[in-house]
Amino acid sequence: GAPGDVNSNVLVARSTGDAQLDKAVWQWLSWDKNQKTKEQIESLLQDGKHGELRDRLCCRLTFGTAGLRSAMGAGFCYINDLTVIQSTQGIYKYLERNFSDFKQRGFVVGYDTRGQVTSNCSSKKLAKLTAAVLLAKDVLVYFFSTYVPTPFVPYAVQQLGAVAGVMITASHNRKEDNGYKVYWENGAQITSPHDKEIIKCIEECVEPWNGSWNENLVDTSPLRQDPLKKICDSYMEDLTKICYHRELNVQSSLKFVHTSFHGVGHDYVQLAFQAFGFQPPIPVPEQKDPDPDFSTVKCPNPEEGESVLELSLRLAEKEGARVVVATDPDADRLAVAEQQENGCWKVFTGNELAALFGWWMFSRWKENCSQDADVRNVYMLATTVSSKILRAIALKEGFHFEETLPGFKWIGSRVKNLLDNGKEVLFAFEESIGFMCGTSVLDKDGVSAAVVIAEMATYLQGQSLTLAQKLVDIYETYGYHISKTSYFLCYDPPTIKRIFERLRNFEGPQSYPKCCGMYNILHVRDVTTGYDSSQLNKKSVLPVSRSSQMITFSFQNGCVATLRTSGTEPKIKYYAEMCALPGLSDRSVLEEELQKLIEALIENFLEPDKNGLTWRSA
């Protein structure tokens, strides 16, 4: 609108009776150049919806486990043109302080296929604005000419020697969301203190600079380069470092079905299979092309299991394919299903897949390592809420296993550190189906994981084994690890805080529970406050993360259970695992014990009825 409109709105805004809100409204209306999001704020103002205006304008985005993530739409705590410009200006400021050669080394920008018509907002447009802010400041920008898998951004940052990179994606979140994921020069997602410092920088320059809105700069600026071909070729070439049985793959008669969940994965998974010598996997036609509405699935998260894999399983049955691989919309995570002897499908959990990957990556290393290779130089990693199966394999085989806080950003940074110290890292994972095979990419990668699973299935078929049979074999060798992960939805932050505060003051002030129902608790670790009863000094070894809630209970019966808040969604998640020693395992007894313990955990610690929590997919 013309300047006159803004002034008339400011007069209305003054009448909200709240100076902070008036200022925020005035800022939004004078800064936002996206007609649709500007109109969203204008109409809230006209309708006197001060509560919603406050929700939208009086708080800022913060870095969670996967960068900035929120719904698309108008407001300073939503993802939109203006907040992406502000974030990029803050990053520019921070990088300029930290790197004298920032402008020459450049910055990588990638994006997925999300979008929202009502806010005139798409990942590609947000990526163009990200690039514009930097190009206007004479920074070399590597802007991908089309959508790419998230792992391509950290990979490109390392390959091109850039100082940092951003991927515009909300991964597997609901279609309303989008996000802004930041990678540092080491190719890992940023961790503290960078995230806190960047937020400070963003707050120092919230007003858009001249040139920040010029999204056409990516088409006109000589400082923009398209890294697509170079990065894609180089990535596929590097992928062959973890290909061990090319000759088997070439001859294989196994058929695979791949679904890309309406996201970016199709072309890249096809190329990855080709790099390993396979016939291309059969794509699910309805889900092969990008669709920001994810119209064939109730939610675009392959973790949800059989319900969202319906189309791919039916296609696989029709085509006689025994294994289905599903990449999530930004192709950084992988779900796998295998048809069993009885015709039913087994959808593997992230923890089960990790057992298979861990066995595979170690046995391939052992078979291919040089005579003087030292197994004590070898590492695998997992986040602390993931299965301890790698710990069991490591103990028996003699390599190292380490844990990190939840979120792949912690794994990426630690792996980089190990590599810099001459260690060899074979595999890392998080239970939410995020896998890192090899170290070409220091983040989870569904494209490489998909083709590694295909090679594993092919190799096992040669031994007349299925993936499911091999999994049982791994558990018999290293001890059964039975785990269950699920969640409750809770849209009320005070309720979440109350649940966790109750656990911290359970039997009186500052005293954690000693038992849960009939189950005795040996140790409690509270990463939010930094307490750990199992340590001599009572301090947690994992770094404190005050911004999120997370408490872990170790039970007398060998079960470990964690309650935490999600870093990306309004969920309280629970994770529980029974670990048995090799040979001491009647699976059904373990499963029953775990189930009863989880029921006690929910009833005593989460109290869903009293707290109004919504059960998963109820």
pLDDT, tens digit, 9 for 90 and up, residues 29-53: 999 999 999 999 999 999 999 999 9
Domain 28-232 has CATH 3.40.120.10: yes
Hey, what amino acid is at 599? Answer: E
pLDDT, tens digit, 9 for 90 and up, residues 246-278: 999 999 999 999 999 999 999 999 999 999 999
| pLDDT at residue number 41 | 97
Cis amide linkage into residue 193, ω under 30° from 0: yes
Are the C-beta atoms of 437 and 427 separated by less than 8 Å? yes
Of 545, 281, 231, 270, nearest in space to 406 by CA: 545
**CA–CA separation, 450 and 337 (whole Å):** 11
Domain positions in the chain are 28-232, 236-346, 351-365+374-478, 481-615
Tell me the pairing of strands 323-327 and 256-259.
Answer: parallel
Please pick, among 171, 221, 252, 387, the residue that the annotation labels catalytic.
171
Active site residue 171: yes
Which CATH class, in words, describes the domain spanning 481-615?
alpha beta
| pLDDT at residue number 569 | 84
pLDDT, tens digit, 9 for 90 and up, residues 474-496: 999 999 999 999 999 999 999 99
Hey, which residues does 181 pair with through a beta bridge? 167
Q: What are the DSSP calls for 518-547, one per residue?
A: TEEEEEEEETTTTEETTSTT-B-SSPP-TT
| pLDDT at residue number 617 | 66
| pLDDT at residue number 2 | 43
**CA–CA separation, 260 and 266 (whole Å):** 6
Phi, psi (rounded to 5 degrees) for 587: -55, -40
Q: Please report how many Cα atoms fall inside a 13 Å half-sphere around the Cα of residue 556, on the Cβ side.
A: 8
Q: How far is CA 303 from the centre of its chain?
A: 12
pLDDT, tens digit, 9 for 90 and up, residues 554-577: 999 989 999 999 877 889 999 999
Q: Cα dist. 239→146, 264, 274 in Å?
A: 21, 18, 11
Tell me the pairing of strands 177-184 and 224-225.
Answer: unpaired
Give exposure, 432-443, as e/b (b: 16+ Cβ within 10 Å): bbbbbbbbbbbb
pTM assigned to the model: 0.93
pLDDT, tens digit, 9 for 90 and up, residues 221-249: 999 999 999 999 999 999 999 999 999 99
| pLDDT at residue number 4 | 43
Query: Looking up tokens 């969301």, which residue turns up?
Result: 177
| pLDDT at residue number 208 | 98
**CA–CA separation, 562 and 291 (whole Å):** 35
Tell me the pairing of strands 531-532 and 550-555.
Answer: unpaired
Which CATH class, in words, describes the domain spanning 351-365+374-478?
alpha beta
Q: What are the DSSP calls for 224-275, one per residue?
A: EE--HHHHHHHHHHHHGGG---HHHHHH----EEEE-TTSSHHHHHHHHHHH
Residue 444: is its pLDDT beyond 50? yes
Hey, which residues does 108 pair with through a beta bridge? 142, 165
End-to-end CA distance of the chain: 46
Mean pLDDT calculated for residue range 529-535: 95
**CA–CA separation, 419 and 439 (whole Å):** 9
The DSSP secondary-structure symbol of 285 reads G
CATH of domain 236-346: 3.40.120.10
| pLDDT at residue number 8 | 47
| pLDDT at residue number 581 | 86
**Helices and strands, number each (H, E), in the chain:** 22, 25
The rounded percent of the chain whose pLDDT value lies above 90 is: 91
Whether 481-615 and 28-232 are alike in CATH topology: the answer is no
Q: According to the 3-state scheme, what is the secondary structure of 118-179?
A: HHCEEHHHHHHHHHHHHHCCCCCEEECCCCCCCCHHHHHHHHHCCCEEEEECCCCCCCCEEE
Residue 1: is its pLDDT beyond 50? no
**CA–CA separation, 182 and 65 (whole Å):** 11
Is the Cα torsion angle 540, 545, 547, 551 positive or negative in sign? negative
Of 544, 550, 521, nearest in space to 385 by CA: 550
Mean pLDDT calculated for residue range 320-337: 98
Question: Coil, strand or helix: which one is 187?
Answer: coil
Are the C-beta atoms of 274 and 258 separated by less than 8 Å? no
Average pLDDT, the chain: 94
Tell me the pairing of strands 378-383 and 424-430.
Answer: parallel
pLDDT, tens digit, 9 for 90 and up, residues 384-431: 999 999 999 999 999 999 999 999 999 999 999 999 999 999 999 999
Mean pLDDT calculated for residue range 348-358: 98
CB-based contacts of 424: which residues, under 8 Å, 6+ apart? 365, 377, 378, 379
| pLDDT at residue number 618 | 44
pLDDT, tens digit, 9 for 90 and up, residues 538-548: 999 998 888 88
Hey, what amino acid is at 223? Answer: L
Are the C-beta atoms of 576 and 483 separated by less than 8 Å? yes
Residue 143: is its pLDDT beyond 90? yes
